Each structure stands twice: as structure tokens, then as C-alpha cells.
Amino acid sequence: MPISADLEWCGFGIRQAGTAIGDWESFMKWDALEEEPCSLARTVAVIGDRWSLLILRECFLRRRRFEAFQSSLGITRHLLAERLKKLVRFGVLRRIPYQDSPKRYEYILTQKGLDLYPIMMSIVHWGDIHMVDSRGRPLLHEHKKCGKMFNPVMVCSECGEPVAAKGVHVHPGPGARQTPTAA
Amino acid sequence: MPISADLEWCGFGIRQAGTAIGDWESFMKWDALEEEPCSLARTVAVIGDRWSLLILRECFLRRRRFEAFQSSLGITRHLLAERLKKLVRFGVLRRIPYQDSPKRYEYILTQKGLDLYPIMMSIVHWGDIHMVDSRGRPLLHEHKKCGKMFNPVMVCSECGEPVAAKGVHVHPGPGARQTPTAA
């Protein structure tokens, strides 16, 4: 499918040239983000706030329990319960009982949650490069398979070469917003 | 540097076993996030809210002007100005004049901003896999270099093999929080 000259495009979104602004004004209603024909906006609906990202960090830290999250993050019980409920609703965490009386639950990453790892590692790596202080990186990462300290690198699934913003063309996919075509 | 048995670790954070919870309660004061010895928290200080992520999406969409951001996002002028100011302060965007009377500015991604691409693409890819509706992906990405539609893959900089959460050991780096050692 060739890139249409009618479409203004980039790596993340696509919209028809000349689309009325009004079409996009509704875009930013958070509850509707997950319905948007934009995979970035849909993901932002799940993880696009600090608490969710930091709760997920705790999960990758192998923390599982409400009290542990609360103690680590200093978040209110109400906010924490709300964010955990959201992450369970989106299938990122699974809630499993670990005690009967009173009933208590642990929260563990599902496969969908574990698949967030490249996002989390990209965030860490950017911080390692751009937000590091004079002392250097807080953590070094060792790839178990090769035994070396490594940086994450984003590559193309087809040719294995690194991918950067300016090296990508974007085409409307089957789930793109339907737009009238000029030709 | 070997992994210390005294340290509970994961891919993103590290803390000494038995550290008093109080040490971590202050962690979540947002203004202090960028000072934390955790590259994820530091990055979250920059991009860890929906507006910042969506403004950055607009920037990668090659939007540059205040009015264009506002029209696309339906964000208030006050919030938009505040977020742009923050992104400029962190060196992710650069503000350059494009008109003299009245003085008007464009906002463009710096190299530090362009380096956010793997984060943005990882977010998009997760949405493509896990948040897609029955119609399929909104967008397809073509790697200019090889000419094929691709998925981003996170690999190890040393051996080139894919990296997953369970395949990584973490070691304290030079910028880790200072902790007394047991040996």
C-alpha cells in the first residue's frame, strides 16, 4: 500500500490533510483514548500516567502486594486501588488470592504486562543517556544470554538494522480512520 | 561487579534489602523524581503524563506551532504552555522564533527529543499487539533502508539477540544509591 499524498503522516498518527479541527477536538477525552485509531493513544490510555508507570516498575521489581506498592510509592490507598483496578481491567495485571481470611490478593504481570518490557527499558535507557548525573548510571544491565553489559537497541524485525525516526515511512493500515480518497 | 546478594533487584530499580520504608516514601514527590537514582523515575519526570506524550506525538507528526498543538489536542492554552515550557526546560524541545511582530515561536525536537523515538515506537508497537480492534493496525511502518513493513524489536547491543524481562541481570552502577555493604 503506497503512501497517499493526501495523508499527512509520521510514525504514530495519520490524518487526512484538511480534516476539520473539530474532528480532533474530541480526541483528548481520556476515556475515549483507547478507542482512537492510534496505537500510541490507546497505549497511553493504559500506561500514560506517572502512577501507572511507577506501579508497573514495582511489578517488574517483583512486588506483588497492595501494601508493598503503597509503602514503596507513598501513594494513597484510594489512588492505588484505582490504578490497580485499571491495570487489571486492561489485562496488564492479574489479581490472584493469596490469603482467605481476610481475603487478600496479589497482583502479577500477565504476558500482556510482561510485553511492556521494551517500553520500560526504552524509558530507562533514555534516562541513562540523558538524565544521568555526574556519578553515572544508577544501574547496569547484563544480558544473561551473552553475559555482557548491554544497552537496548531498537531494530527492524525484517533486516535487523537499527531504526530511527527519520528512517521510517508510515502507511495507513486496515484499522486506519476511514477517510474519503481523492483518487 | 557481581550481583550482590544483599540487593533486591530487577531491571529498573535497586534497593537494599531491609531498607526502611521511610527512605522510599519521599520517592514519589514528583518534583524530586528527576533527582532519583533511577533512570525510569527520571524519565517519568519528563514524559510521564498523557499531555507530554501526546504533545511529543504531535512533534513527531511534524507539528511545531502552539496553535497547531492546541487545535489537535484540544488542550487549554495554560496547560499546553506549561507542558511546552517543561519540555523545553528538559531540553527535549527547542523554541525558535518564526515571526517577529508579534513574536511567535516554533517548537522542534532536539536530538534529545528525537532520541525518545524508541520509547514512542515501543508504545505504538505494544498498542498494535494488545490494543488493536478487529479492523487491525491503524498504521503500518516501513523501514526505508530495507523497504519492508516491520515491527520494532529490542535487542542487546552486544550480541544482537532479543532481550526480554527474564533474560536480564541488573547490577548497581556508579550512580546507584550508596548503601552500606555487608562484606
pLDDT for position A125: 95
Same domain, yes or no: A40 and A70: no
Is the domain of A2 the same as that of A23?
Answer: yes
Where is the domain boundary, A97, A115, A133? Answer: A115
Say which residue, A30 or B155, is predicted with more confidence: B155
Q: How far apart are CA B125 and CA B153, in angstroms?
A: 9
Number of domains in chain B: 2
Q: Which residue has the cell 480534516?
A: A19
pLDDT score recorded for residue A179: 52
B27 touches chain A (CB under 8 A): yes
DSSP state of A149: B
Cell for A55?
A: 506501579
Q: Is B74 left (phi over 0), alpha (psi -120 to 50) or beta?
A: left
B131 with A89: CB under 8 angstroms? no
To 10 degrees, what angle do helices A50-60 and A39-47 make?
70
Residue A178 is given by DSSP the state P
User: Which is it for strands A168-172 and B139-143: parallel, antiparallel or unpaired?
Assistant: antiparallel
Q: Does A158 fall in a domain?
A: no
- What is the share, in percent, of chain A residues with pLDDT greater than 90? 52
> Chain A within 8 Å of B93 (Cβ-Cβ)?
no
The pLDDT value given to residue B96 = 96
Q: Return the ∠ at Cα A63 (arms to A58 and A67), rounded to 5°.
A: 100
Q: Residue A29 pLDDT > 60, yes or no?
A: no
- Are A44 and A85 in a shared domain? no
> Are B91 and B65 members of one domain?
yes
Residue A29 burial (C-beta neighbours within 10 Å; 0-12, 13-18, 19+): exposed
> What is the arithmetic mean of pLDDT over A10-34?
43
Instruction: Based on the fold, state whether residues B65 and B87 are members of the same structural domain.
Output: yes
Of residues A7 and B55, which shows the higher confidence score? B55
From residue A95, how far is each of A48, A66, B80, B168 by CA, in Å? 21, 11, 37, 25
Confidence of residue A156 (pLDDT cuts 50, 70, 90): very high
B75 in contact with chain A, both atoms CB, cutoff 8 A: yes
Candidates B9, B12, B58, B166: best to mutate against A (most CBs of A within 10 A) is B12
Q: Is residue B154 part of a domain?
A: no
Indicate whether A111 and A55 sit together in one domain.
yes
Q: What domain range includes position B18?
A: 1-48
**Same structural domain for residues B29 and B55?**
no
- Would residue B54 count as lying in a domain? yes
B26 or A99, which is more confident: A99
pLDDT tens-digit map of A124-148: 999 999 998 899 998 899 999 999 9
- Statement to judge: residues B67 and B81 lie in one domain: yes
The dihedral sign for the CA sequence B118, B120, B121, B123: positive
3-state secondary structure chain B: CCCCCCEEECCCCEEECCCCCHHHHHHHCHHHHHHCCCHHHHHHHHHCEHHHHHHHHHHHCCCCEHHHHHHHHCCCHHHHHHHHHHHHHCCCEEEEEEECCCCEEEEEECHHHHCCHHHHHHHHHHHHHHCCECCECCEEEEECCCCCECCEEEEECCCCCECCHHHEEEEECCCCCCCCCCC
Specify if A19 maps to a domain.
Answer: yes
Whether B148 is covered by a domain: the verdict is no
Q: Does A78 touch chain B (CB under 8 A)?
A: no
pLDDT of A178 reads 62
Q: Does B81 touch chain A (CB under 8 A)?
A: no
Burial A68-105 (b: 16+ CB within 10 A, else e): bbbbbbebeeeebeebbebbeebebbbeeeeeeeeeeb
Residue A174 lies in a domain: no
Question: Which residue is closest to B119 within chain A, CA to CA?
Answer: A122
Record: contact B150-A158, CB cut-off 8 A: yes
Residue where one domain finishes, among candidates A81, A96, A115: A115
AA identity, residue B125: H
Q: What is the CATH number of the domain that holds B94?
A: 1.10.10.10
Q: In B, which residues are within 8 Å of A63 by CB distance?
A: none
Q: Does A79 touch chain B (CB under 8 A)?
A: no
Domain end point (choices A76, A93, A115):
A115
A107 and A63 share a domain?
A: yes
List, for residues B70-113, the tens digit of each pLDDT value: 998 888 999 999 999 999 999 999 999 999 999 999 999 999 99
User: Does residue B181 fall inside a structural domain?
Assistant: no
Please give the Cα distance from A153 to B33 (Å, whole number).
Answer: 25
Say yes or no: B38 and B59 in one domain: no
The neighbouring-strand residues paired with A142 are: A149, B169
Domain presence at residue B162: no
Q: Does B7 touch chain A if contact means CB atoms closer than 8 Å?
A: no
Determine whether the interchain pair B143/A167 forms a contact, defined as Cβ–Cβ distance below 8 Å.
yes
pLDDT at A128: 94
Does residue B7 contact residue B173 with C-beta atoms inside 8 Å?
A: no
Q: B141: nearest CA in chain A?
A: A170
Residues of chain B with pLDDT under 50: 1-28, 180-183
pLDDT at B172: 87
Yes or no, beta carbons of B139 and A30 under 8 Å apart: no
**Residue B45 confidence (pLDDT):** 86
Alpha carbon distance B183, B171 (integer Å): 16
d(CA B171, CA A51): 25
Q: At residue A37, does pLDDT exceed 80?
A: no
pLDDT of residue A183 exceeding 60, the answer is: no
Cα A107 off chain centre by: 18
Same domain? B87 vs B39: no
